[in-house]
Chains A and B, each alone.
Chain A
Amino acid sequence: MADAAGAPILEVDGLVVRYGSYTAVDGLSLSVGRGEIFGLLGPNGAGKTSTLSAIEGLLNPAAGAVKVVGHVATSEPLAVRALIGVQLQASSFQAELTLTEILRLYSGLYGLTLSTNELSQRLRRAGLADEAGKRYKQTSGGQQQRFSLLVAMLHDPPLLLLDEPTSGLDPQARRQLWSQIERARGEGGSILLTTHSMEEASAVCDRVAIIDHGTLVALGTPAELVDQHRTDPRVLRAAHGEVTLEDVFIGLTGDEIRD
């Protein structure tokens, strides 16, 4: 899907990522357009994190290319990271700093010089005004996720990469987080997210890609994927009644547990 000017925000073309003899991503191609919410779905070990790392310019692919707004991730990693906001699943912030101080730190790292007033406004918009003087570990799981997303969105990037953003959140916290994500999309941002919740992917993603063993096994809108695979015997075996995106996912990637 392309943006209004015809160029996608993110282009992944024939991406191959290897760790020694193990191939984590094997010829993956996809693109994300402006204002699109794109879901990258796959069981554990399918290659989602390796794909995100390649987009973030943190590893050198064995083959293929990743471009963000025309910048190549391998040759211009800093330029690419200036264009993306990242919320990682397993990351943290300095335990000794307050939320305001962390926000000030990351503002500087993204080239912004925000006043204390502006920092307070950002925290207020994310519903974290009362936590401004607290340390990160003193906040609840939902507040940590919202704060992490706030840091990712500090510089209003055209592309947000969200790694299981609602994992472990209660319904209220999930709802609040999604309103933050929808606001980012409403302002023209594109979002690439990973999630294990097929219900969530169906509800919020414009398009999804299902990957397994590093390769793309399905790509389209959630409704298209359900329609395309409605009669697939593997999907029918997984279905209990009306076929859902989760049935398609299980049907295409198998039902064995991955670690």
Chain B
Amino acid sequence: MTDVTLLKPPPVGLAMRTLLRADATVLLRNRQALLLSIVLPVAMLFITGAGSGRRQVLDPGYLIGLAITYGLMASGLFGYPMAVARDRESGVFQRMRVTPVPMWTVSVSRIVVQLVLSLIMSLVVLGLGGVRHHLTFGLSNWLLVLVISLLGAAVFLAIGQAIVGLTTTSGQVNAFSRVLFALLLVVGLVGSSGLLGTTFKTIAGWTPVGGLSNLFSAATGSVAWGSDQVIGLVASVGYAVVFGFIGVQWFRWTVR
């Protein structure tokens, strides 16, 4: 038996490194999460850009931003909360709760891994989008897209955290996320396009998808920075804070 004076909680750095390694491995082995987070946004980029070369309905910068937003939304509304709900149900968290590490490190590690995946997805989509639409982006465009991707990832992870905080089973999370995903996508996409008029476009600008798409449009240099982007920024920060608070406040590590 180890001398009891040597048995102490581990340094936070060691615990975080270990958790990050494990969470990254779990994510890399989760094909569904990778498909939703990277492959589908890239596919969406090529599908929505099918009019390229002829007359395009939507601006290329907007389409790239939309594909990135879609990837962030898929990761935040499906990948993250589903993994958390599943681990909560199966007792993974119950086991981790009896280790000498604070549980916030478990959450932070998972969120960091999701953020890194979101940034990689954003870089891939931006790079391929540039090729697809024959656009060249400067360093400032790349940096702005990364910053907005982080903000967008925070928005959707916060919403995902709220979903998993307010539900108890992975089935409920799945159902809730599907409905919300479709709703946000349709409202953001149709509203922001202006097809339903200016009032609906203004409302859509306040939604997570609409607000972020407007921010990405400016970040890629397709439109100038203006009031739509200010609204997008304010709305995104607001969503991240409010849903993050709900998600933390109501979250339970066990459902038993």
List residues of chain A with CB under 8 Å of any chain B CB. Answer: 56, 58, 69, 78-79, 81-84, 86, 88, 90-97, 101-102, 104-111, 113, 151, 155-158, 187-189
Q: A94-B26, A94-B87, A96-B26 are in contact. Are A83 and B4 (CB under 8 A)?
A: yes
Q: Is the CB–CB distance between A101 and B256 below 8 Å? A: no
State the CA gap A58–B93 with chains docked (Å). Answer: 12
B209-243 to A contact mask, C-beta < 8 Å, 1/0: 00000000000000000000000000000000000
Q: Tally chain B residues at the interface, Cβ within 8 Å.
A: 34
- Please give 9 more A-B residue pairs, beta carbons under 8 A apart, in addition to A91-B92, A113-B14, A158-B7: A56-B97, A78-B100, A79-B100, A82-B8, A106-B99, A108-B19, A109-B101, A156-B2, A189-B1
Complex CA gap A158/B95 in Å reads: 19
The answer to whether the Cβ of B180 comes within 8 Å of any Cβ in the partner chain is: no
Quick one: CB contact mask for B32-52 with A, threshold 8 Å, 1 for yes?
Answer: 000000000000000000000
Report whether B29 and A96 are in contact in the complex, using a CB–CB cutoff of 8 Å: yes
Of listed B7, B17, B102, residue having the most chain A CB within 10 A: B7
- B26–A97 contact, CB under 8 A? yes
Q: How far is the CB of A186 from chain B (nearest CB, A)?
A: 10
For A34, the closest partner residue in chain B by CB is: B1
Q: Are B2 and A109 in contact (CB under 8 A)?
A: no
Residues A111 and B9 in contact in the complex (CB < 8 Å), given A58-B97, A58-B98, A90-B256: yes
Q: How far is the CB of B240 from chain A (nearest CB, A)?
A: 27
Contact: B98 with A108, CB < 8 Å? Answer: no
A108 to B7, CA, bound (A): 13
Report the nearest B residue to A135, measured CB to CB: B29
A156 to B7, CA, bound (A): 9
Of the residues B15, B22, B29, B94, contact of A88 by C-beta under 8 Å: B94
Please indicate the chain A residues that have their CB under 8 angstroms from the CB of B1 in the complex: 156-158, 187-189
Residue among B18, B86, B94 making CB contact with A105, cutoff 8 Å: B18
CA of A95 to CA of B97, assembled, Å: 17
13 pairs of residues in contact across A and B, judged by CB atoms under 8 Å: A78-B9, A88-B91, A95-B86, A97-B25, A97-B26, A107-B18, A108-B14, A108-B18, A109-B96, A111-B100, A151-B95, A156-B2, A157-B7
For the complex formed, measure the closest distance between the CB of B89 and the CB atoms of chain A, giving whole angstroms. Answer: 9
Q: Quick one: which of B8, B11, B17, B19 contacts A79, CB cutoff 8 A?
A: B8
Known: A81-B9, A92-B95. A109 touches B25 (CB 8 A): no
- Tell me, yes or no, whether B171 is within 8 Å of chain A by CB: no
Among A83, A91, A93, A102: residue with most chain B CB under 10 A? A91
Could you say which residues of chain A place their CB within 8 Å of the CB of B140? none
A101 to B19, CA, bound (A): 11
A52 to chain B, nearest CB (A): 9
A93 to B92, CA, bound (A): 5
A interface SS class: loop
On chain A, the residues within 8 Å of B90 by CB distance are 92, 95
Q: Nearest Cβ distance between residue B127 and chain A, in whole angstroms?
A: 28
Pair B15/A82 contact, Cβ less than 8 Å: no
> Does B136 interact with chain A (Cβ within 8 Å)?
no
9 A-B pairs closest in CB distance = A108-B18, A111-B10, A91-B91, A82-B100, A91-B95, A188-B1, A156-B2, A81-B100, A78-B9
Contact present for B101 and A83 (CB under 8 Å): no
- Over the window 85-117 of chain B, the binary record of Cβ atoms lying under 8 Å from chain A Cβ atoms (1 yes, 0 no) is 011001110111111111000000000000000
Residues of A within 8 A of B56 (CB): none
| Partner pick for A96 among B30, B94, B99, B100, CB 8 A cutoff | B30
Q: Are B95 and A93 in contact (CB under 8 A)?
A: yes
Q: How far is the CB of A80 from chain B (nearest CB, A)?
A: 8
CA distance A93 to B1 in the complex (A): 25
* Contact in complex: A90, B101 (CB < 8 Å): no
**Least distance between A97 CB and chain B CB atoms (Å):** 6
Query: In chain A, what residue has the closest Cβ to B10?
Result: A111
Residue pair A104, B95 in contact (C-beta under 8 Å): no
> How far in angstroms is the closest Cβ of chain A from B30?
6
Bound: A107/B10 CA distance, A: 10
Neighbouring B residues of A110 by C-beta, 8 Å: 10, 99-100
